[in-house]
Amino acid sequence: MPRPGLDPAAVEGLLQWFANEARDLPWRTDRSPYRVWISEIMLQQTQVETVIPYYQRFLQAFPGVEELAAADEDRLMALWAGLGYYSRARNLQKAARQVVREHGGVFPEEPSTVRALPGFGDYTTAAVLSLSMGQDLAVLDGNVARVLARVFLVEGSVKTGPVRKQLQALADAGLPTGRAGSYNEALMELGARVCRPKPRCAECPLQPVCGAFREGCQEEFPSKNETRVRPCHPCVVLVVRNGKGQVLLHRREGKGLLGGLWELPSIRSLVKLDSNPATPAQLSSLLDQARAGLPEAPVGAAGPERHLPVFRHHYSHFSIEVHPQEIEREVQELPADWRWVSVADRDGLGISASDRRILEDQGA
């Protein structure tokens, strides 16, 4: 099942941030396809500050696609000199000639036609069509990839095909219909100015939904290596209900990763899983241990039990494959570090992200 992207409230926060913080850049004042296209090609591998004077001189010399198509090659190269990657300028002119020859000088609207122009890849196609024509296409450049890899804890190098595909799917899934231009620019701007390699999370509108911020591992994402293998351990978590709308929580001891937090009773195996899920025998044994760890254990099968959806949760150095199990128990005498908690009580307690997810999924 594809993962959902940013939820609508997070996208609204991002767009609001962009409306307040967007830099005043020359290519943002006129959104014709030609101008967006020139700026996007110049900005590939080149800093914004460097591009600005080049962009202004280029537009003065070649204000439209016809002038670029007819330009003298020496003049074109002289105007590009210093920006590097000269094939970009040559492809610009080739594409301009194609637009004039095959489309009467009007920039095409069909993504596959645009994608076939010299110098156009997926990114440039989506950028030009979304920013200048409002087409619902999400871009994925290095800045957007860094933001999404952190928010959704996407592992693996963003240079690999499967990871890029995953990130593109996340970018697509969050795209608000009819507002692709602002959404794309906002994500790119956020990556360029806030979610930088050294992120400034205090200024970030996505902080409330960011997995890397929550886990404190921002700089581990995106991964530098081709693959990032974290050990993954099976874990059984009990959602113990007492029939009065309450669930049983236990305060974790110590100063470790989750020390002092209130948590659902659980047991984590030291066994490391590979890509396969835990076996039924492993789970059955873990479940017995988890039940035996409850106060007044063993308490017998007091009510029906139910398997809840399994998920993987990532910490900075390991992952857990969480198998939540809902059970009913009457436990009268609770030790000091255990308590029954209702939804209202729960909001005031420190509860780990993984347990909070289980409770929210169950409406507990």
Tell me how many residues contact ligand SF4 (CB under 6 A): 14
How far is the C-alpha of 58 from the C-alpha of 39, rounded, in Å?
10
* Catalytic-role residue among 40, 155, 263, 321: 40
DSSP string, 144-158: HHHHHHHHTT--SBT
Residue with tokens 């039990």: 305
Residue nearer to ligand SF4 on the CB measure, 207 or 285: 207
Q: C-beta of 10: minimal distance to ligand SF4 in Å?
A: 10
Residue nearer to ligand SF4 on the CB measure, 99 or 210: 210
Q: Judge residue 340's burial from the number of C-beta atoms within 10 Å of its C-beta, 0-12 exposed, 13-18 middle, 19 or more buried.
A: middle
Residue nearer to ligand SF4 on the CB measure, 126 or 210: 210
| Cβ atoms 138, 171 nearer than 8 A | yes
Residue nearer to ligand SF4 on the CB measure, 187 or 320: 187
Q: Which of residues 15-54 bind ligand SF4 (CB under 6 A)?
A: none
Which residue stretch of 112-120, 206-214, 225-233, 302-310 sits at the interface with ligand SF4 (rule: CB under 6 A)?
206-214
Residue nearer to ligand SF4 on the CB measure, 217 or 349: 217
User: Which phi and psi angles does 34 have, rounded to 5°?
Assistant: -60, -45
40 is a catalytic site residue: yes
Q: Pick from 75, 80, 33, 73: which is nearest to 55 by CA?
A: 80
| Cβ atoms 160, 167 nearer than 8 A | no
Residue of the chain from 140, 170, 210, 236 that contacts ligand SF4 (CB under 6 A): 210
Q: C-beta of 102: minimal distance to ligand SF4 in Å?
A: 42
For the record, the structure tokens of 281 come out as: 């025998």
SS3 84: coil
Q: Which of residues 131-170 bind ligand SF4 (CB under 6 A)?
A: 147, 150-151
Q: C-beta of 181: minimal distance to ligand SF4 in Å?
A: 21
Residue nearer to ligand SF4 on the CB measure, 6 or 358: 6
Q: Residues 173, 195, 86, CA angle at the centre, nearest 5°?
A: 85
Which residue stretch of 37-45, 193-201, 281-289, 297-305 sits at the interface with ligand SF4 (rule: CB under 6 A)?
193-201
| Cβ atoms 168, 175 nearer than 8 A | no
Which residue stretch of 177-185, 200-208, 227-235, 333-341 sits at the interface with ligand SF4 (rule: CB under 6 A)?
200-208
Residue with tokens 């002119």: 93
Q: What distance lies between CA 157 and its chain's CA centroid?
A: 14
Residue of the chain from 93, 218, 269, 354 that contacts ligand SF4 (CB under 6 A): 218
CA distances from 336 to 248, 256, 339 (A): 12, 20, 8
How far is the C-alpha of 56 from the C-alpha of 61, rounded, in Å?
9
Residue of the chain from 206, 232, 283, 294 that contacts ligand SF4 (CB under 6 A): 206
**201 part of the interface to ligand SF4, by CB under 6 A:** yes
Bin 153: left if φ > 0, else alpha if -120 < ψ < 50, else beta: left
Active site residues: 40
Q: Which residues of this chain interact with ligand SF4, rule CB under 6 A?
A: 147, 150-151, 194-195, 199, 201, 204, 206-207, 210, 212-213, 218
